[in-house]
Amino acid sequence: MKAIISERYGQADSLTLREVVIPSLDRNQVLVKVHASSINFGNLVLLTGKPLPARLAFGLLKPKYSIPGGDVAGIVEAVGENVTGFQIGDEVFGDLSTSGWGAFAQYTAANETSLALKPSNLTFAEAAAVPMAGATALQAIRDSGKLAAGMKVLLHGASGGVGTFAIQIAKVYGAEVTAVVSTRNTEMARALGADHVLDYQKENLENHEQTYDVIFGVNGAQPLSVYNRLLKENGQFIHVGGESSQMYQTLLKGSWLSMVGKKKYSTFLHRTKQEDLLFLKEQIEAGKIRPIIDREYSLQEVPKAIQYFEKGRSQGKVIISVFN
Ligand SMILES: NC(=O)c1ccc[n+]([C@@H]2O[C@H](COP(=O)([O-])OP(=O)(O)OC[C@H]3O[C@@H](n4cnc5c(N)ncnc54)[C@H](OP(=O)(O)O)[C@@H]3O)[C@@H](O)[C@H]2O)c1
C-alpha cells in the first residue's frame, strides 16, 4: 500500500510517499481501507516533535509513529478476533491520534474503540473532518464549559476546524453564541448559527460592552485582563488553543486569578472517546451539525496540505482524500 512516512522530526517536506506492507491486525483492531483523513494541530506536533514535552509521548529522538494521520474515514476490510462492534464492509470514521496514528495511508489498523459507524449523510471526506476537531469542540463545550440553555458564550477564533464545530455544538446546548472572527469569516459564522458575530478586524474586544458566562479561547490571543473584564462574576475562561502565549497566560496568571477570585481560568486537552463520535454522528444525522471543508489534497500532497494548514488561516477543515 502507499503511505506517508515520517522518519525524523522536521518540517512537512521531510515526509515521503512510500510503498509499505499493509499493517497486520491485533485481536482488538479493525483494518480500515482509508478513503479520507484530515489535518489537525496534533499533526504538526508529531511532525516537528515540538513542543519538546510532546516527545515523551511521541518518541524522544524520532517519531515512534512512522505513519502520521489521526482522523480517518473509510471502509472496514477485516476485523480482529475480539472485535464485536464492526463487520467487513461497514463505513466508519474515527480518531487514531491516541491509538497509534496511521491514517495517511491506503489502509490502517485501528483500535475498535477509536472508531464509530460513519454518519450516513456524509461523504468520506466530510466524515474525516469530524473526529478530532468535533470531539475537541464537544468536550470543551460540554465537559469543561458545562454549557446550558441561555448561557452567554464567547468563542474567540471560531472559523477554523475546531471553531466551526464549536459554534454549532454551543447552539445544540442552547447557548447564546458570540463568535469572534475576521471579516472574511463573518458570513460563515452566522450561517453556522452564531447569534452575534464580532469582526476582530473592525472591533477591538477591549472596547466590547457585553459580559459572558463562558469564554473559549479557540484561536488567536487576548490579554487575560480583556477576558477578565468580559466575564460575568462567576464566569470562566477555557483555553482550547490559539497562540502559545495564551496558554502560558492561562496556566500562570489564570491559575492565580482563579485562586483569588470567583472567575475561573483553565486549559483543556481533548481525548478520543467512542461515545463522543457517536454523539457527533447523531447530531450530524439530525442536521444539527455539519463539517465545513476549506480544501482537499491527495495522499501524495500531504506535505502541501500541512504547509497550508500551518499558516493558520483555514476556514474549517483541510482534508486528505486517499482513494478517489
Ligand atoms: N486543547 C485541545 O485538546 C486541542 C485539540 C485540537 C486543537 N487544539 C487547538 O485549537 C486551536 C484551533 O485548532 P484548529 O484546528 O481549529 O485551527 P485552524 O483550523 O488552523 O484555525 C484557523 C482559523 O483560525 C482563525 N484565526 C487565526 N488567527 C486568529 C486570531 N488572531 N483571532 C481569531 N481567529 C484567528 C483563522 O481565520 P482568520 O485568519 O480569518 O481569522 C482560521 O479560520 C489550535 O491552536 C489547536 O492547537 C486544541
Residue 29 to residue 79: CA distance in whole angstroms: 6
pLDDT digits (tens, 9 = 90+) for 16-45: 999 999 999 999 999 999 999 999 999 999
Could you confirm whether domain 133-267 is CATH 1.10.3720.10? no
Tell whether ligand 1 has an atom less than 6 A from the beta carbon of residue 182: yes
Identify whether the C-beta of residue 186 lies closer than 8 Å to the C-beta of residue 197: yes
- Atom of ligand 1 minimally distant from the CA of 161: 16
pLDDT at 73: 98
How does residue 98 score in pLDDT terms, banded at 50, 70 and 90? confident
pLDDT digits (tens, 9 = 90+) for 198-236: 999 999 999 999 999 999 999 999 999 999 999 999 999
Tell whether ligand 1 has an atom less than 6 A from the beta carbon of residue 315: yes
Please give the distance, rounded to the nearest whole angstrom, from the Cα atom of residue 81 to the centre of ligand 1: 40
Question: Does position 323 have pLDDT exceeding 80, yes or no?
Answer: no
Please give the distance, rounded to the nearest whole angstrom, from the Cα atom of residue 169 to the centre of ligand 1: 16
Identify whether the C-beta of residue 294 lies closer than 8 Å to the C-beta of residue 318: yes
Query: Taken in order 95, 34, 2, 41, is the CA torsion positive or negative?
Result: negative
pLDDT at 114: 97
- What mean pLDDT value characterizes the chain? 97
Mean pLDDT of 80-103: 96
Tell whether ligand 1 has an atom less than 6 A from the beta carbon of residue 157: yes
Please give the distance, rounded to the nearest whole angstrom, from the Cα atom of residue 2 to the centre of ligand 1: 30
Instruction: Identify which has the larger pLDDT, 76 or 323.
Output: 76
How does residue 324 score in pLDDT terms, banded at 50, 70 and 90? low
What is the residue extent of each domain of the chain?
2-130+291-321, 133-267
Question: Does position 95 have pLDDT exceeding 90, yes or no?
Answer: yes
Q: Give, as one character, the DSSP assignment of residue 310.
A: T
Q: Looking at this protein, which amino acid is placed at residue 196? A: H
pLDDT digits (tens, 9 = 90+) for 174-201: 999 999 999 999 999 999 999 999 999 9
Instruction: Give the CA angle between residues 248, 203, 201 to the nearest 5°.
Output: 75
Burial of 291 (0-12, 13-18, 19+ CB in 10 A): buried
Instruction: Identify which has the larger pLDDT, 99 or 138.
Output: 138
Could you confirm whether domain 2-130+291-321 is CATH 3.90.180.10? yes
